[in-house]
Amino acid sequence: MNRKTSSADRIREKKKLFLDREQSIIDAALELFLAEGIDRVTVSKIAAAVGIGKGTVYKHFLTKNEILLRIMIDYERNITNCLAAGIIKAENGDSGAAAKGYFEARLARPELDRLVQQLEVRLADAEDIAGQMDELHDIRRSNEESLHGLMSDLIGKDILEDVPPHFHYLACWALAQGAVELWFNKSWNYRTDTKELMEFISNIGVTMGNRGQYHNVDSSKVGDQ
C-alpha cells in the first residue's frame, strides 16, 4: 500500500511541477515584457528565460497570444479581488473605500498595469483567443455588476451624482487607466513628483462623481499606499 500511495504521490507531484512550470512561463514572460518591451520578447526568449525548450511552451499554451492573455486575466483577477475588499469596506460605511481600493490596486504596480493595457491593444484583433478574450470581458463586467448595488445605494443617499451607476465605475476605470499612462509617458517622465501627482489623481478618483465631495473628505488619508 505504501507503494501505491507513493506512486500516486509522484503523479500528483508531477502534475504540480507541470502547473508550476506554467506559472514559470507566465512569470518569465511578464518579466521579459516589463524589461524589454512587448515587441522584443519572442517565444524563444521566454523559453530560454524559463530554461526550457521552445516546444515545451507550446505544451502549456496553444499560442503566444494565449500567454499574453493569461497575463491579462491574472492581473484582472487581482484587481477584482482588491475591488471586492474595497466594496466590503464601503458597505460598512466607508463610502470611498471601493474607489480607493480600486485605485490602489491599479497603481500598486503601475508598470504592470501599463503592460496589461498594452497587451490589450495587441490582442484586440487577435483571431486566435478571440473566444478566450471573453473571459477577460466577463471579469470586468462582473466587477461592474458587483459595484452596482453599492453605487445605487450611494446615489440614493445623495452621496454620488444621480447618473447610471456604472458611470461612476467606468469613470474610475478611465482615470486609473489614464493615470497609469501618465506615469510612464515619456513627455512627463522628466518630473520627479510622480508620487504626489498620483495621490492627487487618486483623490480625484475617490471623490469624483460625489455630490459636494470636497467637504467631507480627509484627503490626507487617501492614496497612502
Residue in the structure block whose three cell numbers are 512561463: 25
Choose the contact partner of 55 out of DNA, its own copies, none; CB within 5 to 8 A by kind: DNA
Residue 64 or 70: the one with the smaller Cβ distance to DNA is: 64
- Alpha-carbon torsion 129, 142, 21, 3, what sign? negative
By a kind-dependent CB cut-off of 5 to 8 A, residue 135 interacts, out of DNA, its own copies, none, with none
Give which of its own copies, DNA, none residue 18 binds (C-beta under 5 to 8 Å, depending on kind): DNA
218 binds DNA (CB under 7 A): no
| Range 62-81, binding DNA (CB under 7 A) | 62-65
Taking the least distance from each CB to its own copies, the nearer of 52 and 139 is 139
Residue 131 touches DNA, criterion: CB under 7 A:
no
Task: Look at residue 44 and give the partner it binds from its own copies, DNA, none, a contact being a CB closer than 5 to 8 Å depending on partner kind.
Answer: DNA
Q: Return the range that interacts with DNA (CB under 7 A); candidates 10-18, 139-147, 162-170, 214-222.
A: 10-18
Q: Which does 219 bind (CB under 5 to 8 A by kind): DNA, its own copies, none?
A: its own copies
Convert 109-122 to b/e letters by CB count within 10 Å (16 or more is b). Answer: ebebbbbbebbeee
Q: Which is nearer to DNA, 65 or 203 (CB)?
A: 65
* 60/100 with CB nearer its own copies: 100
The residues in 31-60 that bind DNA, with binding defined as CB under 7 A, are 39-44, 47, 51-56, 58-60
CA distance 146 to 90: 12
14 in contact with DNA (CB under 7 A): yes
Q: What is the DSSP string of the chain?
A: -HHHHHHHHHHHHHHHHHHHHHHHHHHHHHHHHHHH-GGG--HHHHHHHHTS-HHHHHHH-SSHHHHHHHHHHHHHHHHHHHHHHHHHHHHTT-TTHHHHHHHHHHHHSHHHHHHHHHHHHHHTT-STTHHHHHHHHHHHHHHHHHHHHHHHHHHHTTSB-SS-HHHHHHHHHHHHHHHHHHHH-TTTTT-S-HHHHHHHHHHHHHHTTBTTTTTT--GGGTT--
Q: Given the complex with its own copies, which of 68 and 207 has the nearer CB atom? A: 207
Considering beta carbons, is residue 46 or 129 the nearer one to its own copies? 129
The nearest distance, CB 54 to DNA, in angstroms, is 4
The binding site for DNA (CB under 7 A) comprises 10, 14, 17-18, 21, 39-44, 47, 51-56, 58-60, 62-65, 128
